[in-house]
Amino acid sequence: MAKLNMVKALNLALMQEMERDPDVLVIGEDVGVDGGVFRVTEDLHRTYGSKRVIDSPLAEAGIIGASIGMALYGLKPVCEIQFSGFAFQCFHQIENHAARYRNRSQGRFHVPMVIRMPYGGGVRALEHHSESEEQFYAHIPGLKMVIPSGPRNARALLAAAIRDPDPVVFFEHKALYHAHKEDVPDESETMEIGRARVVREGDDLTLVAWGGMLRVAREAAETLEQEDGVGSDVIDLLTVAPLDRETIVRSVNKTGRVVIVHEAPRSFGPGAEIAASIMDGAFLSLEAPIARVTAHDVPFPGFAREKANVPDVARVVAAARDTLAY
């Protein structure tokens, strides 16, 4: 057991998976000698060499496309896209191919690869370095979309993603990389992809969040408990797709009120899909309209205005109070 931040926890998962399976490769821009711009791949190059830890040319379609070829051959590439805002340069490879080879070849081929990307704001970064785009990947049949919320689940989910026979898009929130440390077991650990976790329990309200917004939802739940005596279920989604509707529906059937929090823009975002699942599975339990606290439907407004765009504790608490007072 060691106390690790998320960067070190992810690094541990990569180290151990590469040790476990010689077919696991790491590829991306600056992932080798430099250890990645966020240092997630630090020391892998020294340990496993440049054939397994590949400093690729600066070309996202090439990175993902070549990794698809490697995966079709039977290797298990873990690709790093330096920032999620640059994944549109390879979006076609992900949608047209990574997600489809299994189906196109009717099971003759599959694409066991992981596409890691730092995402999210709150780090005073430039345009294209601060966005939250999980909805694009969650909408693609054939892909899985995973977003950890802390060091321990990041490590366990990355290991699970590497072992998954299907392509997994794995988002890492930049503001979480160094946010806090957690006890992470030394021995290898995995978590089931497709399972949400209830990380706090209460009977009055359900808060659904993931990645960088989990902390916001948890703090809002704390405030509501302290100031309003309201008990909240806080659901950490962990996997956006395939969505664990069962856990959400079960909670809302208990509480009757729900606030969904996400950092992606509101319209057609994951919140809408979660709301639809609640309508399907918990309609008769609802005491109030389903609330969403999200970023606005605007392009990244620059970090000077970012606070007014990305959901914070105050906005979540206010939405929860409206919901509770409905």
Partner 1 sequence: MPRTVLEPRFQVEYLSVLDAEGSLDSALDPGLPPAELKRLYRAMLLGRRLDERMVRLQRQGRIGTFAPIKGQEASQLGSVAVLRPTDWMVPSFRETAAMIWRGWPIEKLLLFFAGHLEGGQPAPDQRDLPITIPVSTQLPHAVGLAYAAQYREDDVIVMAYFGDGATSEGDFHEALNFAGVWHVPVVFVCQNNQWAISVPLKKQTNSKTIAQKALAYGLPGIQVDGNDVLAVYAASREAVARARAGDGPTLIECVTYRLGVHTTADDPTKYRSAEEVAEWERRDPLTRFAAYLKRKRLLDEGLEAAVDEEIAAAVARFEATGVADPLVMFDHVYAELPPDLKAQREALAEGLRSGEPGRREKHEPSPPMRGQRSGKR
At which residue do the structure tokens 């209460």 appear? Answer: 202
Min separation Cβ 243 and partner 1, Å: 7
- Residues 128, 131, 134: CA angle, nearest 5 degrees: 125
Asked if residue 29 lies in contact with residue 56, where contact means CB atoms within 8 angstroms, the answer is yes
Question: 125 or 207: whose CB is closer to partner 1?
Answer: 207
Any contact of residue 82 with partner 1 (CB under 8 A)?
no
Half-sphere exposure of 178 (CA within 13 A, CB side): 4
Min separation Cβ 289 and partner 1, Å: 16
Question: 11 or 255: whose CB is closer to partner 1?
Answer: 255
Any contact of residue 325 with partner 1 (CB under 8 A)?
no
Asked if residue 33 lies in contact with residue 45, where contact means CB atoms within 8 angstroms, the answer is yes
- CA–CA distance, 117 with 277 (Å, rounded to integer): 27
Question: 130 or 255: whose CB is closer to partner 1?
Answer: 255
Any contact of residue 194 with partner 1 (CB under 8 A)?
yes
Give me the 138-177 binding string for partner 1, x by CB under 8 A, dash otherwise. Answer: ---xx-x-------------------xxx-----------
Any contact of residue 21 with partner 1 (CB under 8 A)?
no
Q: Beta partners for 116?
A: 80, 170
Asked if residue 138 lies in contact with residue 241, where contact means CB atoms within 8 angstroms, the answer is yes
Binding site for partner 1 (CB under 8 A): 25, 51, 56-57, 59, 61-62, 64-75, 77, 92-93, 96-97, 101-110, 141-142, 144, 164-166, 194, 203, 242-243, 245-246, 249-250, 253-256, 277, 280-285, 287
